[in-house]
Structure 1
Amino acid sequence: MLKKTHPQIAAVTLIFLCLAVVLPLLAPFPAAASSNYSLIRTETVSAINTYLTYPIIQIDIPNTEALSPNDLLTIALPAGLEMDNTPDLSAGVWDSARVTYSSAATENKNAVGFEVAADSAGHHSSLEGVTYNAAGIAPRHKANVKVYAPETAGCVSNALNVDNSTTNAWQACAVGKSFIEIKVLNPALFKAGTTAGRLYVGLQSVKVTKTFDSDINVTVTTPSNTGFSSGSLAVARWINTGKGCMAWANSVATMGTLPTVLDTIVIQEATRNSLTNGETIRLRLPEGFEWNAAGFITASWGFNGMKFTSSLDSADRSGRTLIITCPAQGLGNLPSEGRIYLNDTVIRVADETIARRGDVAITISGPEVTPAKIVIANYADYGVAVSAQTEVEVVAGRDNTKLGSFSIIENVAGSLIPNRTVTFALPAGVRWDDTNFAVGPTGNQTTVFQTRVNSGGDWAKSKNARVSLDGSQRVLKIVLPEDGFPKSSLDIKDLQVKISPDYSGDITVAVGGSAGANGQVRVATVKPPLSLAAVNPSRLTPGIQAQAIGDMEMTESRAGTIKAAPEIIQLDLPVGVTFAEKPTAVVTAGDIQINQVFTVAGGQSVQISFKNTSTQPARIKLSNLKLTLNRAVPEGDIKLRVNAKASGALTNQAGIFNVATLAEAVIGQCAPPAGVVVGRFKIDSNIYEVNGMARVMDTTPYIIDGRSYVPVRYLGHMLGVADSNITWNEAARKVTLVKGGNRVEMTIGSTVMFINGQPQTIDTSPRISQGRTMLPARYAAENLGYNVTWDEATRSVFISTAL
């Protein structure tokens, strides 16, 4: 057994203070992860060709946010220790790894690190030698070294415990027989809601090939640009006498000021017959703590059937010493090593002014026991933390929607107060799903969620906890039972909610109540069921029928959101606007199939149904869109909206949340109301409109140099100019239009026009095409008192009387 080593913090601090004075003009260094190394189990050894099986190195990273991809550290075994396995993956066998690792401390999610070539510094640049145990098959023979991430790092959740089978966040592998390399791959995959990281490196089958003077040290080295720190520590001790014992605690208990039951403490002979008849082993607590109960001892291995006793040292008035007494006879000639388990010991804080928070380490000593310290508890303040475990992406508008999970973690068992409440409040627009939610006189059985204490059974049901919803169905309340929580972590999972069709953004659960839990945790991000977009919004004029507009697109946010017939999607136009004919719907992405398209409500709405759901996000294009506007349609945007209450293919929650519109898009702008005369020329078309009536020309408008040219006579008809007031002077090649008190004269090929006898320069000139005089529409119409507008979507010139 060995004493735990500690880094020389003072020296490092002094160096950085000096640098701060000498180099004040340098840019600040990035935040360092500053890893710390300690032992939670050690071992003694006294013979070569034996194996270290119990040492565990603890690596703590206080700030995992300072880690970057490819940051790494290398643990170097000293000469005399080696990983002697020969890895084998032939014929599908996963066996005899030198290093296995797991991001969740789960054996069947390990990966194997093979020996790979190392550079002069003992590192390799990639992880070609890593092979995954994707099938989840445990090795038939124990690996030399196992690297894993425990669930917590002290009192908080462990960022490196990411629980994914491909372990893409970080990896570990062997480099030769003497190096263990741990490498960061993707810090973005670290667990959310915490920055503390912890890894355990277990030397579970490392061969001893030579003798040592005393301590057996490993060295941790890192590149200069990495977020880890270098260091060294003793993992075992060589005992020349051939005798000795090792000790460890199965787990570290978290404690407050109240009496705390410790996990089992194990004391084992490193070599057989190390302990002698009547020998005593002393376990001494640090100042400020005292033993509250001595527990009992179970003898095993070579000691099986023998009676060892534990008692408080009556001579130690501080209560800090517990004594284990070996049996008076039977020791000294046993065929194998012995082991004893010290169970159900209890410690408490005797003096809060002296007891130091943090690790509580006992000193173990005895005639045949190498003095050492082992950590048995962590002394922390009372408090409760709320930590996210998983976060999911969901779609708005449905019930039975499962959210992510989170944990309520006590700093110390007992932080949550029995018989008081823990509440879970949802934001507006989200409600707890009350399907099959029953309130009974002796407790509730609910499908809203499951409460699991440290991955155990459904705690709320097994403890008959009282669970209820408030009137808004947004606040879920648990009344804690009298015996509280059996452990210090309560996992809340399988949360099911109803989400309003128009909700978007994050779902954050606010944890509160009178039991002592407070905090907020994000459990989901909500996307809308569908987006609606106009390809090219058009200008629309009141009083005109069958005006063509650009195409529309509907896009699913996630595959399978749109449900099959008989459910439909209904698209509504505003009052006064109708579809002149049935639109055409075509699937442009995904494998959904159109079932039917039809207009309803006098053409104000179109309904679409589908034959199936899509396995990929679907996109549907709506074309052949022609709208008729009556003269009462007001000026401004014209929107096409998804009717939430009628669109069962997208949501079943519109009525519950009283939501009318699920999505909408501007498809056009309504121009000012028409005057007495209004008309439209469409480029390259011989059809023109006057007051909503279609007429035929013997030529077509066209565009030259960005100007629209229209035939003068048909323009005159549209503006209400009598044929007698449209004259042509062949000699002067001049056309004249007279309406009311306005006279417009334009000459072929000239950029000067005359308005009531006054010259005006323009940037283009009239032309003759196919025997017809073609005028620039804007200059002719506006000087006769009309408005001229251009609609790119339909390539049309609109003319209306000025208001």
Structure 2
Amino acid sequence: MKLRQKLAMVLAAAMVVTAVPVTTMAKSTNEMNKVVSIVEGTILDATKGVALDMQFDANQTTQDTTTTFFLKTEDFEFDKDAYTTANQTTGVYVDATTGLKVEILSKTEAKVTVPVKVAGNKVSIPVYGKVLKGNPAIVVDGEDSLATSGKYALTGSEVVTDKALVATAGSAKNISVDGEGQIADITVEEKTAGALKNGSVITVSLPNSSDLDFKLGSDIKVEGLRGLAGQDVKVKAQYRDNDKKVLELTVEGITSSASRGGIKIKGIEVQAENPRYEVKTGEVKVAVKADKMEDAKLVVANVADFGVKLNVEEEVEVVAGKDGKTVKVTLEENAIASLNKRQDVYFELEGANIVKDTLKVTEGAEGILTQETEKDEVTGLTLDTAKLSDTKANKVVFEFEVEGKASQTGDVVLVASSRNFEKDIELKVGTVKEAVKVEAEAMTVKVGLKGQKGGKVVITETEAEMLPRGKEIVVEVAKDKANGIHVVDAKVEAKDVQIKNVKVKDGKITFTIDRTSNEAGTITITDIKVDTDRTVPEGSFDLTIGGSAISKHADDVITAEDFLVVGTPNTEDNTSNGLKKGTGIFKVGERKYTVNGEVKEMDAAPYVAKSNRVMVPVKYVSDVFGVNGKDVLFSKENGGTITIFAGSRVLQVVNGSNIALVNGVKVPMDEKVTIIDGRTYVPVGEMARLLNVEVEWSNETKTATFTNR
């Protein structure tokens, strides 16, 4: 083997050996019995009770063993006098119970002797002395002894100052330009236990340039913290040398505690230096001082002009017709009394809806905000300003759920109004995103005509899966205007989304989403067939697109405005009498009749009366000439009165009477009107005369042929 290879193997082996952790048997277990709060100059004595505890390993000791080791210090000085025990030389401490002996050799070194009388003996070495700046610690030098060497810190952090107190401020309070108000809470905390004492004086000072003075007479409250928690601590407040910009607070009621504590001072009030002038706007700072306190300049208030702020925690995006989302809003006064307690604040939501019973006030007086409803919908919110505080700038935080209706899209804006506001406050809280877009091509129809075909409606998803599986879409003429217009057929096609159960019934086009889309789907409705009767007025009619696939609410729809345009009455196929041209053939005893060659069926049949007159049903003869069921009205008046709107004529006949009214003029008939099984009959000839059409009777075939040319 080459020399180079041998050396490489030796080095590798050495590396393996040094990489193995070496375990040594611990001779004693050492730890400080406590970690104390200290600053530079803190004296550790018997009252502090700090000690280094040492537990010796039972396997390392025998009945007669005595061991000696040394203690050294870092950033700490032993107090030789404190280690003096009765009948001992100065600087020598002996524990009669354990036989422990501590001899102070210098400010930074001590000799410790432990006679181990019992296997596993435990001793506590007291730590007396003065803390220096830095990282104070006790170092055990256990070489050639049964003690384990190590360094043990006296505190959890570096000692950098001799200041035993520190002051901080809570959230800055808002004060109006009239200067009246309270400053933030001031907290004074001990860095070492006992730093706050009865008689401690805390000075709070405003700058000489400030427009504010302190105001005595208010109830300043004190809350004990940590080691002083639960104590009845108070402060006595007074001006220093009658200077209203300097407040002296003398602490009272403290009971000594071994743990660090602190106090929170609440309710210090200020006022304008000169009440005739407004205070300058901006931050208010104070200087807080006390014996052994770190210098503190704190922002305790903001002077602001009267006014209110309206903010939203986070804007939301909701999908039209789908589930809503919660918004969190904050209304906050810039200064005390910005809101007038006699003038409520009203909120309205534009561009979306507030979901009923979702209002929740998370900060503010109980019952301060209520919802207003009409027909089970939230119309707005009312803030009861009488419930506001007089002593602070109010803040009300509330949340509610926002949802968009199927037809809504765009920004959602919360509008706050009050007689106290110069103008309404508008806050955008979110947006409504369309689930689908609807495009429509209008169709024109005529009055009194069946089977009119046209129009086009395209429903397009804004993104995939907007139309949920198993939900239905319903398309119909707007319900409040549908009288006299009937959708009877349509062609429905889908792309990138699957539909099923396409039906046209009761004037509605309905279908169900069978499978959701992977890409934005499109549903197209064409060849919409419409029937109209003569009661339909001229004008435009809306088409609505709704159903559970469009919105979670049954009455929520998207409207295609002016989809159906009703023009002038259908006169192209009418004659001068205003009736539709055509021919109808009726045969005695048969329920089938013919209209322009098309065979139809009726629920009544012509018959021959006792007077040998042939009687025909009014409804079906009228139907031949474009008079549909909506143009024939029945009332129970006079035993049964029938009114017929027949082209240019209004006809009226009465059951059992041979007098008819034609446009209000009485016309005698040669046979009385008869109602049988709910159908009204008049003689063949009289029916033709009333409608102003021609009639031919064939005695051979027993048929009556009515014609309007």
Q: Give the TM-score category using the shorter length.
A: 0.3 to 0.5
More strand by share: 2
Question: Which is bigger in relative contact order (C-alpha 8 A, separation at least 6)?
Answer: 1
* Larger radius of gyration between Structure 1 and Structure 2: 2
Q: Normalising to structure 2: TM-score of the pair? A: 0.44
